[in-house]
A and B are shown apart, each in its own frame.
Chain A
Amino acid sequence: MTSSSAASRKALSKIACNRLQKELVEWEVNPPTGFKHKVTDNLQRWIIEVVGAPGTLYESEKYQLQVDFPEHYPMEAPQVIFLHPAPLHPHIYSNGHICLDILYDSWSPAMTVSSVCISILSMLSSSTAKQRPADNDRYVKNCRNGRSPKETRWWFHDDKV
């Protein structure tokens, strides 16, 4: 992947800005179920609260997602992480990084914050065990210097959760 931790700190392009404003308007009109956008004046970083779906392991649990947009959003994927504490999930590391292909290799500019949120909630909902990824400690240690998950070479092996 491209070096997006640096890019995400760069100001949004005009195209990105326009698109994010449209997304925000659409979100306000029609927010995805189970999500709440915490209003800030920062268009480039959204904080979104997610509530575990009823009938799942995470029912009624509340978590916070942090979405950072790169300069060339939507050509580049946003960086999406869970703020502490991250849910216990086989694809969510304790530092909040999420192993989900659409956030990295499979990102498409036709995707939206809303669609990403739905994918994350779907990933949570389909979990059968509340546990950390097997390589959690090693990975988190590697990320100690504040590395973005977008710089990780992810290996997407599990299509069930």
Chain B
Amino acid sequence: MSAWEPWRRSSRRQARNGTGAKMVLNLDLNVPPVESWLPEGASGSAHPCVSQEAAVPVHPQRSTPTREQQGVVPIPNNRLIIDVDALDDEVETWNWVSRNQSVMVVLDEDLESNPIQSGFTIVEPATTLPLNIHNKRERIPIDRTIINCDLYPDLGEENDAKRRAIMKPDPEPEKVVPKEPTFTCPICMSPLVEASSTICGHIFCQSCIKASIKAQKKCPTCRRKLTMNNFHRVYLPTAN
């Protein structure tokens, strides 16, 4: 959570001074820049654009930090935004959250755990999260609730071991990708580093063939006479 601090602070500062000078990153480009609305030095706290309930679409990465800290909150506004930073890749597995449900769980990466274990229950039937969950511009429809797992830190810790056991199988499917063929250098017998071919077509690590030519002036494989210019880098294709 400490990683959120800087921008949380900055968003408050913007809310206070409202100069807009440092808000460039915060703005949705579809909305006219604040500068054009505000006379210089105007009090931004009163300005709708930068107030907490602002309707201006703020950049999703910088959204709703304060509210997340407050835990379960009914959202009064239809402009709330998913904090995508909080949604780690692993959140994909939380497919019981759906667009049509009335709850949304903002998860901290460190606090992911089984919702039931964490003490709150999701009533809705399980549905799959839309694929565009990773779309950073996604907006949450009205009447969503945010459940903040921060409220259950002790539970999270209790379940730490369990959760790890649960989360472990997840990265597995990604590694099923066919293994890249690895070629071994006949000199160092390790996977090729900066694969280089001699003019006779034999492939070694660049450093290995250099050392060999220096030592013997011939190809280690076929003994063809070689000089230091008689090899070049090759870029072997990958499995993908």
Contacts and interface: CB of A to CB of B under 8 A. Distances in A.
Main SS at interface, chain A = loop
A76 B189 CA distance: 16
B188 A18 contact: yes
B186 A110 contact: yes
A109 B190 contact: no
Interface in B36-91: none
A4 to B, nearest CB: 12
A119 B49 CA distance: 84
Contact of A75 (B215, B218, B223): B215
A87 to B, nearest CB: 28
B216 interface: yes
B130 to A, nearest CB: 49
A21 B200 CA distance: 29
Contacts of A109: 186-187, 208, 211-212, 215-216, 220
Interface in A81-125: 106, 108-110
Contacts of A22: 188-190
A108 B189 contact: no
Nearest to B208: A109
A26 B189 CA distance: 10
A23 interface: yes
Contacts, number: 37
Contact of A23 (B189, B212, B218): B189
B100 interface: no
Interface residues of A, number: 14
A110 B189 CA distance: 9
B220 A110 contact: yes
Contacts of B190: 18, 22
B221 interface: yes
Nearest to B221: A110
A104 to B, nearest CB: 12
Given A75-B211, A76-B215, A110 B187 contact: yes
A52 interface: no
Contacts of A76: 215
A62 to B, nearest CB: 29
A15 B188 contact: yes
Contacts of B212: 75, 108-109
A1 to B, nearest CB: 12
Given A75-B212, A109-B208, A109-B215, A19 B189 contact: yes
A111 to B, nearest CB: 8
Interface string A17-31: 011001100100000
A75 B212 CA distance: 6
Interface of B: 186-190, 208, 211-212, 215-216, 218, 220-221, 223
14 contacts: A15-B188, A19-B189, A22-B188, A22-B190, A23-B189, A26-B189, A72-B215, A74-B187, A75-B212, A106-B223, A108-B212, A109-B216, A109-B220, A110-B186
Given A18-B188, A72-B215, A75-B212, 7 more contacts: A22-B190, A75-B215, A108-B216, A108-B218, A108-B221, A109-B216, A110-B220
10 A-B pairs closest in CB distance: A110-B220, A22-B189, A110-B186, A75-B215, A108-B220, A109-B220, A109-B187, A109-B212, A110-B221, A19-B189
